[in-house]
């Protein structure tokens, strides 16, 4: 019976990890091919949709926001994934308008590193502080998206695309966070945090 229970648990963990990966990649394929094939005529939406998933530093940070929300529980579980895209849209507008921010790329790498460590160590901060921290990171991610707006793209549709993609990545992290229901699942989540932090370190030193 214990053997069957262990096998069932491993099967559930594997299914949830695969589902989370599917959510994380759902906007990247085949839409990535479409965006590259007809980049000038997509109105910006497809380009915005695939931009977060084509940048590994963006992708892991956004998944980590969902993971951290799952660790913190309600109300942070839904407040963090709402705060990040909203503030990111503001950062995107600043980028489109040409408002400068210093050290944007290093800040994005640091955000991945910090979020990864928060997940790895399962740090529990007050919800308000967590929202401020996530919002600060989101400004830099949004600014990077905005400054990379294709010349032929519509700014609104581009922003809508990357906000939707960001929401999907947050959902992937939240779903992966459901593994916290089991002791071994918590170690998987911690491992994901370590992986995210290492990605941040890699982008910071490269």
pLDDT tens for 105-155 read 999 999 999 999 999 999 999 999 999 999 999 999 999 988 888 765 688
Q: Indicate the pLDDT class of residue 36, thresholds 50, 70 and 90.
A: very low
Q: Indicate the pLDDT class of residue 14, thresholds 50, 70 and 90.
A: low
Continuous H helices in 44-182: 45-54, 56-72, 76-97, 104-120, 127-147, 155-177
Give SS3 for 71: helix
pLDDT, tens only, 156-202: 888 888 889 899 899 989 988 988 988 888 999 999 999 999 999 99
Query: What domain range includes position 105?
Result: 2-205
Closest CA to 54 of 206, 166, 170: 166
Closest CA to 205 of 52, 53, 57: 57
Locate tokens 């502080």: which residue? 129
Rounded average pLDDT over 32-36: 43
Locate tokens 């839904």: which residue? 78
Radius of gyration of the chain (CA): 17
pLDDT at 23 over 70: no
Query: Which residues, other chains included, contact 149 with Cβ-Cβ below 8 Å and sequence gap of 6+?
Result: 44, 95, 96, 155, 158
Q: Indicate the pLDDT class of residue 102, thresholds 50, 70 and 90.
A: very high
The beta-strand segments (E) located in 1-58 are none
DSSP assignment of 93-129: HHHHHT---TTHHHHHHHHHHHHHHHHHTT----HHH
Are residues 200 and 109 in contact, defined by beta-carbon separation less than 8 angstroms?
yes
Rounded average pLDDT over 84-111: 94
Are residues 53 and 165 in contact, defined by beta-carbon separation less than 8 angstroms?
yes
pLDDT recorded at residue 8 = 58
pLDDT recorded at residue 187 = 92
pLDDT recorded at residue 27 = 42
Give ∠ CA 9-78-72 in degrees, rounded to 5.
60
pTM exceeds 0.85 for this model: no
Answer with the residue of higher pLDDT: 9 or 112: 112
Rounded average pLDDT over 81-108: 94
Domain count, the chain: 1
pLDDT, tens only, 39-74: 434 557 888 888 787 888 899 999 999 999 999 999
pLDDT recorded at residue 29 = 46
């Amino acid at each position: 019976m214990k053997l069957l229970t262990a096998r069932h648990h491993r099967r559930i963990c594997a299914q949830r990890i695969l589902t989370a990966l599917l959510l994380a990649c759902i906007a990247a394929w085949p839409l990535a091919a479409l965006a590259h094939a007809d980049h000038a005529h997509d109105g910006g939406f497809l380009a915005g949709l695939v931009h977060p998933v084509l940048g590994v530093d963006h992708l892991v940070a956004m998944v980590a926001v969902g993971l951290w929300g799952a660790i913190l529980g309600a109300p942070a579980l839904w407040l963090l994934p709402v705060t990040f895209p909203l503030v990111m849209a503001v950062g995107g507008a600043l980028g489109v308008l040409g408002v400068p921010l210093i050290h944007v790329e290093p800040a994005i790498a640091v955000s991945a590193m910090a979020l990864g460590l928060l997940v790895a160590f399962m740090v529990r901060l007050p919800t308000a502080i967590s929202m401020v921290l996530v919002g600060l990171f989101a400004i830099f991610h949004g600014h990077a998206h905005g400054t990379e707006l294709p010349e032929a793209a519509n700014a609104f549709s581009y922003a809508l695309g990357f906000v939707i993609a960001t929401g999907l990545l947050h959902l992937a992290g939240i779903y992966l966070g459901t593994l916290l229901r089991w002791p071994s699942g918590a170690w998987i989540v911690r491992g994901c945090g370590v992986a995210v932090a290492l990605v941040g370190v890699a982008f910071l030193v490269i």
